[in-house]
Each structure stands twice: as structure tokens, then as C-alpha cells.
A = this chain, B = another copy of it.
Amino acid sequence: MVLDSKFALVLILVFFRGFTAALWPIPSSLSSSTEPIKLSPGFNIHLDILNPPSDLVSAVSRTISRTTTDTFQRLVVGRSAVDAKAVESARILTSLVLSLHPGSPVRSIADETNQPVTSRSEGYSLSIPHDASSATLVAQSTLGLFRGLATFEQLWCDYNGTKYLLDGGIEIVDQPAFPYRGFSFDTSRNFYPVADILRTIDAMSWVKLNVLYWHVIDSQSFPLDVGAFPELAEKGAYSLDEIYSQKDIQTVVQYANERGVDVVMELDSPGHTTAIGAAHPEHVACASKSPWSKYASEPPAGQLRIASPATVSFAEALFDSVASTLHSRMMSSGGDEVNLPCWEEDEQTQDDLAERNITIAEALNEFVQAVQGVIVSHGKTPFIKSDMVLTHNVPVDCGAGEWLGNDILGNSWCDPFKTWQRAYSFDRFANLTQDQYHLVLGGQMPLWSEQSSPENLDSIVWPRLAAAAEVFWTGEILPDGTSRLGPNVTSGRNALARLNELRYRLVDRGVKAIALQPKWCALRPGECDLDS
């Protein structure tokens, strides 16, 4: 469903500013009236689809369940109790009907999620007339319906078990501004159990993020069980309890795909590979060589012997083995932060270069072509990192300042703390010319785990990551016509109020998102602004 952007703008109504359902990311267009609506105790969702796929049926069940289990109360002084009268007299909505546009394919959400990123259909239309006579959610794909369900779930507040909405008469026509909206997750520096990844995927799906870019391995540990090389994890993981088994990987991928999240795995190489040396020292140059700062961007030093035919073959087999187990049409070979002195001082690498009469640059090119060729041979689009891109990212920083030893003040590249505001003001077209804009498919926010672990995962990621979700779903122009960027403080105020609500909703669902403000401020949008 591709909407003409002019058409979308026409739908913006004056009610936007009074919209109490604080949707995040905010739909590209929405309107509402001031008629309160509540859900019938027997509220149900009907699928007007022949032979609906099981993951859509499950998604509908989860949404129905959440209309019971969510206990979020409206963020206002007195909370939902102040709406008691409105709730009492509200019209009663008994059901929501989901349907696909005529002629749309009926595929599982997982299948839709594994379509090429630029041809996924994620748009949807959600309508709840002011008289609550019916409610409809329509899309051109099951994935679009799933996005609409996420919006539907965010509409409701709880008052003594009754779910209500002050601004009924909802008309939402929504679609993403960018097709790629990701979270990059480093599970190597410190390990995260599968349950943490699944919870993160759930929360991602609630804000319509659609790519888990899994930075699964790095120099510090190799937690990935690879079919062809089980010894890599056995010897390279922190412990046998800190390995993602092949079954774990399938669990994560399946769970993610059913929630509209594509899992793009990165096997960072040829740098960031020291952990491979635990099982295969023959493939790693300058392994743990001292001083690390001469041979790597961070300890321990070590990168693949790209000039060695045996190592290139090993890398090809590694990529082949992993790629064969993944559904995604995308996979990454990483490629950041290669270090030249590491190879220059590695005797074997120098011998290999001399024997083959090639330069290190030629060897690097060969290596990258080789592993990316494997990715392509599996029908996947290969990613490669650019350090230049990297430096333009807005990273979710690494937690608690400096993690290298011997630094008295402990300030580091992690500083300053990357606030949600900074992420939210990210201009995805910065430093580009207009004719390059169409090349931008989206973006992702990374969590590097030098100082993160299961203990602070939720609080370091949420609700900050949601800022990226709105940057890439809603785009620059908010539905009231204002720009997210620049000095428009009003949009910032609205964003904070909505983000506060999202934070309380996340906590209500068991995601330990950090408080953005004292509760006093969260209950009084705008009253803790700098100019109020």
C-alpha cells in the first residue's frame, strides 16, 4: 500500500494536538473525534481472511490478551480515575475486523518479513468510527495488519479493568517512511540469554522496528554454534552456558519473523575475530598481541589471515554454514576497523603475500569478495560496514563511561551519554545531496556491550531506541505538518509526552525502560519544559 504523500497530508485534522492516545511511532496520518469509546468485556478480533496464517492468528490472540492484561493508566494527574465519567458513558466497541485488500496475497507474517526489504508492505488503515458501530483494520499484507495491531494496542488506557479511549472516531492511514528500521545488538562483549533477545524483539515490534541486526560475534567471545565448526563456540564462547545453539538461533529467527522483525546476522570480519583463534589459532594474526592499541581498536587484538588461502576457505565455509540456516535475505560480513600493523607484523601473512605476489589491499579485496560471494550464493544481499558510516551513527552508548583500565577520570568515546533527544533529532539525510536521498533505506541504532549485559539491557535501550523507530517510521514530517527536526520545540514537547507514555506502557509489559522524567512531569506534559 503506497500512499501518495499529498493525500496523506490531507488527512491531518485539527484534532491532532488534543489526541490523547499517545501513539509511538506516530502514524503518518491520523485524526480523531472527542467521543470516548470503551472495549466490550467480550471484545474480540475477527479475521475476515480465508485460511489465515497461524502467526497472524497468534498475533491477534496476543492483541486480544493485551486488551485484558495491559494495565497502563492515562498519564494525567489522578490517572484514569479522572476519566471515570467519560468511561461510564463511552460507546462500546465489541469487535475489530481485520481484512486484506482484495487481491492481496495471504502469506504468513514471517514470510512477509522475509521479503526483500524494499518490497515489504507494512502500511495499514485503522478506523474506529465515533459511534463504535464497528472497527476495521485493512492492509495489503498480513505484515501490514500486524503493524496495525501494534497501533491498536497502544490506543487503550485501563480504568478498573475497562479499556477505554477518550478520542474515538479514529482514522489512521499509516505507512513507514523508510523500509529499514533496525536495532544492532552486540552479544559478544557480554552475553545475553535468549529470553532477553526475545523480550527485546517483542518491544521492537511494539514500536514497529523491523530489523534485528545481530552483531553476534566479536573478538571477545564467539557465542554462535556453527554447524560446520562446533569448536568455534565450544572454545571461543565465554562458557558452554553462553552459546546460542542452532536451535536457539531458529527460535530467535522464528520469534522475530512472526513479529515482523527480520534477523540480519553479522559475522564481523576480517577484524574483530580474535575469538576464532581459540579453536583455530592458525587463522588469526596478531592474536592478543601486546600492546593491543597498536593492533586493534580495542582489546584483544587479532584478525583473520586474509592472505592465507586456507583462512579464506575457512571463512567461506563459516559463512556458508551460517547462511544456510538463516531465512533473511540480508546478511553482513561486517568489515569495520581492520588494522594494518597487525598484518604487517604477522610473519605468515607476509609470507603468503610474498608467495602470491599480492598487496594487503588486494588480499583484503579478495577476502571480502569471497565471503560476500558466499552470502550472495545463498540469495542474500550482503552488507558491509563503512567506518565512515559508523562515525555518523547515533550509537546507544556503552553504558557507564570508560571500560578500559587505567583511566583515572573514566571518560571515553562513550561520552556524552547519547540522549533520546539526540537520537530523535537525527537527520537521516545529513551530508547528502538531494539526488542521494533515495539511496537511504533507513537506519539502525546499535547497542555495544562493553558495559552492557542482561542486568541493564532494558534500561540502557528503552525507551531511547524508540526514538529511532519514529525517526525511520514516521520520517521528518509529523502528522500535524510540523517537522521533527530543527528548532520546533512544540514537536519536541509532543514527542516527550508520547515517549513518556510509551515508557510507562513498556514497564507495564515487563520491559524495564528507564524513566525519562520525574513522574510529576510525566503526569503534566509540558510543565517541565525549559520555557514553562
A293 surroundings in chain B (CB, below 8 A): 530-531
A516 within 8 A of B: yes
A417 near B419 with CB under 8 A, answer no
Of chain B, the residue at the smallest CB distance from A525 is B405
Does A526 lie at the interface of the complex (its beta carbon under 8 Å from any beta carbon of B)?
yes
A410:B420 contact, CB within 8 angstroms: yes
- Residues from chain B with Cβ under 8 Å of A291 in the complex: 531-532
Contact A528 to B405, CB < 8 A, known contacts A299-B521, A517-B451, A521-B299:
yes
Q: Which residue of B lies closest to A189 (CB)?
A: B518
Cα separation A51 to B512 with both chains bound (whole Å): 46
Give A417's nearest chain B residue, CB to CB: B401
Count the copies.
2
Q: Mark A401-427, 1 if CB is under 8 A from B, else 0.
A: 111111111110011111111100100
Which residues of chain A (424-470) have a CB below 8 Å from chain B? 425, 449-456, 458-460, 464
Tell me whether B451 and A404 are in contact (CB under 8 A). Answer: no
A526 CA to B400 CA in the complex, in Å? 19
A464-B516 contact given A405-B526, A421-B407, CB 8 Å threshold: no
CA distance A190 to B411 in the complex (A): 28
> How many A residues touch B, CB cutoff 8 Å?
77
Which of chain B's residues have a CB closer than 8 A to the CB of A239?
79
Cβ-defined contact, A405 with B456, below 8 A: no
Residues of A494-520 whose CB lies within 8 A of B: 496, 507, 512-520
A124 → chain B, closest Cβ, in Å? Answer: 31
A487 in the interface, Cβ–Cβ < 8 Å? yes
Tell me whether chain A's interface is mostly helix, strand or loop, or mixed.
loop
Among the listed B409, B419, B514, which residue makes an inter-chain contact with A409, where contact means beta carbons less than 8 Å apart? B419
Q: Are A515 and B190 in contact (CB under 8 A)?
A: yes
Interface membership of A238, Cβ < 8 A: yes
- Contact partner of A459 among B188, B410, B456, B531, CB < 8 A? B456
Shortest CB–CB separation between residue A289 and chain B, in angstroms?
Answer: 11
From A422, A454, A493, residue with most partner B Cβ within 10 Å: A422
Are A517 and B450 in touch, CB under 8 angstroms?
Answer: yes
Kindly list chain B residues whose C-beta atoms are within 8 Å of the C-beta of A526.
Answer: 405
For the complex, give the distance between the alpha carbons of A422 and B489 in Å: 34
User: Distance in Å from the Cβ of A517 to the closest Cβ of chain B?
Assistant: 5
A219 proximity list for chain B (CB < 8 A): 520
**Contacts of A487 on B, CB cut-off 8 Å?**
408
A290 at interface by CB-CB < 8 Å: yes
Q: How far is the CA of A404 from the CA of B517 in the complex (A)?
A: 7
Q: What mask results when residues 378 to 389 of chain A are scored 1 for a CB within 8 Å of chain B, else 0?
A: 000000000000
Contacts of A453 in B (CB 8 A): 514-515
Taken together as a complex, chains A and B put the C-alpha atoms of A407 and B459 apart, in Å, by 21
For A516, give its contact among B238, B451, B489, B521 (CB under 8 Å).
B451
- When the two chains form the complex, which single residue of B408, B527, B532 contacts A421, counting CB atoms closer than 8 Å? B408
Name the residue of chain B whose CB is nearest to the CB of A462.
B455
Residues of chain B within 8 A (CB-CB) of A452 are: 514-515
A421 touches B403 (CB 8 A): no
Tell yes or no: A221 within 8 A of B by CB: yes
Distance to closest chain B CB from A509 (angstroms): 12
Does A403 lie within 8 Å of B512, measured CB to CB? Answer: no
The answer to whether A528 and B400 have CB atoms under 8 Å apart is no
The reply to whether B403 and A521 form a contact with Cβ atoms under 8 Å apart is: yes
Q: Is the CB of A425 within 8 A of B408?
A: yes
Known A402-B421, A530-B406, A531-B291; contact A514-B455, beta-carbon cutoff 8 A: yes
A474 interfacial by beta-carbon distance below 8 Å? no
**What are 12 A-B contacts with C-beta separation under 8 Å?**
A188-B518, A191-B519, A220-B518, A292-B528, A299-B532, A400-B420, A401-B416, A405-B529, A415-B417, A417-B417, A451-B517, A454-B512
Question: Told that A220-B519, A400-B516, A451-B516 touch, could you supply 12 new A-B pairs with CB distance under 8 A?
Answer: A188-B518, A238-B523, A290-B532, A293-B531, A399-B514, A401-B419, A403-B518, A405-B529, A409-B421, A411-B419, A411-B422, A456-B515
Which 9 A-B residue pairs are closest in the complex by CB-CB distance?
A410-B419, A410-B421, A401-B419, A405-B529, A456-B459, A220-B520, A455-B512, A189-B518, A453-B515
